[in-house]
Amino acid sequence: KAGVTQTPRYLIKTRGQQVTLSCSPISGHRSVSWYQQTPGQGLQFLFEYFSETQRNKGNFPGRFSGRQFSNSRSEMNVSTLELGDSALYLCASSLERSAMNTEAFFGQGTRLTVV
């Protein structure tokens, strides 16, 4: 069974640009959550998608957005990039919503560097 796949693995962008990251969950999983990991703040929850709808959202500005497609694949978008957006962005896949206390599996992440 294939794991969670995130693309691209590495990305370098310039301040002010926008970026789109992709996550393919484990087959059959319907929930995709996104997290940001930085040295200063650790792992922080961005948002969760289930059945193509955003269910939960963390404390991030509106520049961070996402969507989920009918095949459960998800994308997240960051607009008007800032230096502080440099981070490892992780996607987690689970069978049900996180509210159902279900096991979450992480991808390897996308390392975004903003210069």
Partner 1 sequence: GENVGLHLPTLSVQEGDNSIINCAYSNSASDYFIWYKQESGKGPQFIIDIRSNMDKRQGQRVTVLLNKTVKHLSLQIAATQPGDSAVYFCAENIIGGADGLTFGKGTHLIIQP
Alpha carbons 50 and 59: distance in angstroms, whole number: 19
Residue 103 within binding range of partner 1, rule CB under 8 A: yes
- Residue ranges in 36-106 assigned as alpha helix (H): none
- Whether residue 77 contacts residue 65, with contact meaning beta carbons closer than 8 Å, is answered with yes
Using the rule CB under 8 A, give the single segment among 13-21, 61-69, 70-78, 102-110 that binds partner 1: 102-110
Question: Does residue 101 bind partner 1 (CB under 8 A)?
Answer: yes
- We find the least distance from the C-beta atom of residue 71 to partner 1, in angstroms, to be 21
Note whether 55 binds partner 1 by CB under 8 A: yes
How many angstroms separate the most distant Cα atoms in the chain?
39
> Do the beta carbons of residue 65 and residue 76 sit within 8 Å?
yes
Q: Taking CB under 8 A as the rule, does residue 27 contact partner 1?
A: no
Closest separation between CB of residue 108 and partner 1, Å?
A: 5
**Should residue 26 be labelled a site residue for partner 1 when binding is judged by CB under 8 A?**
no
Residue 37 in tokens: 């990991």
Q: How far apart are the first and last CA of the chain?
A: 37
Contact footprint for partner 1 (CB under 8 A): 4, 6, 33, 35, 37, 39-40, 42-48, 55-56, 58, 88, 90, 92, 97-101, 103-109
